Amino acid sequence: MGKIKVAINGFGRIGRSAFKIAFEKKALEIVAVNDLTDSRTLAHLLKYDSAYGIYERDVQWGEGFVQVDKKKIPVLAEKDPAKLPWKKLKVDCVLECTGIFTKDGKARMHIQAGARRVIVSAPTSGEGGVQTFLLGVNSESYKGEEVISNASCTTNSIGPVAAVVLENFGIKKGMMTTIHSYTQDQNLQDGPHKDLRRARAAAHNIVPTTTGAAISVTEALPQLKGKFDGIAVRVPTITGSLTDFTFLVNRSVTAEEVNEALKKAAESERYRGILAVTADPVVSSDIVGNTNSSIVDLGLTRVIDGDLVKIMAWYDNEWGYANRLVEQVEVICK
């Protein structure tokens, strides 16, 4: 079997991280990048990264391409996905990383252009027919859909923890708060934004805001629909985030029982590389570059009156998520 041919639409933080991860996969071949930015800028941002340091591979550029080591990759600048040369390039899967073409009708334009599969790197909450699949949570229910959502970094952090609690103890209801590093959707300095909190200086404020992650996870765990919600609090860190869960469970438990269930899950084949645990007193910079979707901080687990459970889990909101995104390609294109 030949390599799976991958194209990346949108070369921002997630697109570039996914590129680096996919480049190391022997089963994958990156055949094109589509972004409206020029190839010189894209090559520079691929090489030099404020969060992860300098890319160890040689990066060159020219008119209409970037070159990593000896591999030359076409760089396109097409606004309309339906006009992209996916048929000519025999693209097996498009990573849709623009954050724009999220609904089925828009993401499906890649299919019209000749791609076999599309993975949207954003939550869709089932809108427009795009179903959410989370590795380790509900990926076994994938039935060959052409366009799917890999949801968000926070959804991928929530999903495994919620699934373990649900399967071991049952969940009556739950809430989550993600203490999340700032992103491109916030302002560097105070300025206009449709969200008046995100309008404020990202590196100078704690910014409460919305997240679709809690609702999105119920697409993968429908047992939680109407029982689970949450908010985000953006903080002045470049990457590395922390999810704070509170669950009301169905039976009386102890913190030790909860931690034991999470440790057992982390050791299982199902969650290997997706869910991890740590007993060390870590901080956010310690998990930058961690490839897991969720790293439960066992020392922070709390239980009140037997059925009110708090769990906290770290995640690298860029690198951890991008790893699941690329692994999803291997799952749906195998």
Annotated binding residues for NAD(+), written as ranges, equal: 13-14, 35, 121, 317
Which tokens hold the place of 139? Answer: 């990926």
Listed in order, strand segments (DSSP E) in the chain are 4-9, 28-34, 48-49, 53-54, 59-62, 65-68, 71-76, 93-96, 117-120, 131-132, 147-149, 171-181, 207-209, 228-235, 241-249, 275-278, 294-297, 302-304, 308-315
Sequence letter at residue 268: S
Which tokens hold the place of 71? Answer: 């591999």
Which tokens hold the place of 243? Answer: 């999810």
Question: What is the greatest pairwise CA distance in the chain?
Answer: 64
CA-to-CA dists, residue 18 to 94, 100, 228, 272, angstroms: 12, 17, 30, 20
Choice among 93, 97, 153, 333 that is catalytic: 153
Reduced to 3 states (helix: H, G, I; strand: E, B; else coil), residue 201 is strand
The rounded distance, in Å, linking the Cα atoms of 225 and 221 is 8
Which tokens hold the place of 206? Answer: 């704690």
The rounded distance, in Å, linking the Cα atoms of 39 and 203 is 29
Reply yes or no on whether 333 is catalytic.
no
As annotated, the binding site for D-glyceraldehyde 3-phosphate includes 152-154, 183, 211-212, 234
As annotated, the binding site includes 13-14, 35, 121, 152-154, 183, 211-212, 234, 317
Residues that are catalytic: 153
